[in-house]
Amino acid sequence: MKKLFILVLLFLLAVLTAGSVYAQGIMIKADIPFAFTVGDKTFLPGAYKAERPWNTSFVFLRGSEKLRAIAMSHGVGGGPNQNVEPKLVFRRYGEQYFLAQVWMGAGNAVGREIPKSSKERQVARNTFGPELIFIAAK
């Protein structure tokens, strides 16, 4: 019950925050050639948009089938003078992929790291890895 309350609270916070700062955020697009997991949701291969409203710790992921994920994240990476290309980074364990990082590019050298979900931690315990997979975005 406590987990459900926290998830609902985070969702409401995300919706309220996204509505007020959405126009100021950054969005990238990428074609992902494999199924992957974010939190407890699995996404099919396809075209996706990753968005990060300014001044938030959230990363929004939208697919062509209107599948959505909202993930908490924390900053990772270099300083503002570095030029980093936009990309999505996945951790691969065998044939399972998990979204690990979102790099928005456009002179923004700080990426957003997605913490490991309980599902990913379980897979990691039983599998050798991970291997990092980089998907270019635009």
Q: How far apart are CA 90 and CA 22, in angstroms?
A: 25
Name the residue among 39, 53, 1 with its Cα closest to residue 121.
39
133 with 92: CB under 8 angstroms? yes
Determine the pLDDT at residue 100: 94
56: left (phi over 0), alpha (psi -120 to 50) or beta: beta
Q: How far apart are CA 48 and CA 66, in angstroms?
A: 10
As a whole number, mean pLDDT of residues 17-24 equals: 42
Give the pLDDT band of residue 106 (cuts 50, 70, 90).
Answer: low
As a whole number, mean pLDDT of residues 6-20 equals: 44
Determine the pLDDT at residue 55: 67
pLDDT digits (tens, 9 = 90+) for 67-89: 677 777 777 765 555 667 899 99
Give the pLDDT band of residue 8 (cuts 50, 70, 90).
Answer: very low
Q: What's the token pair of residue 31?
A: 């074609």
Exposure of 117 by Cβ count < 10 A (0-12 exposed, 13-18 middle, 19+ buried)? middle
Residue with tokens 């490991």: 116
102 with 50: CB under 8 angstroms? yes
Q: What's the token pair of residue 35?
A: 């199924």
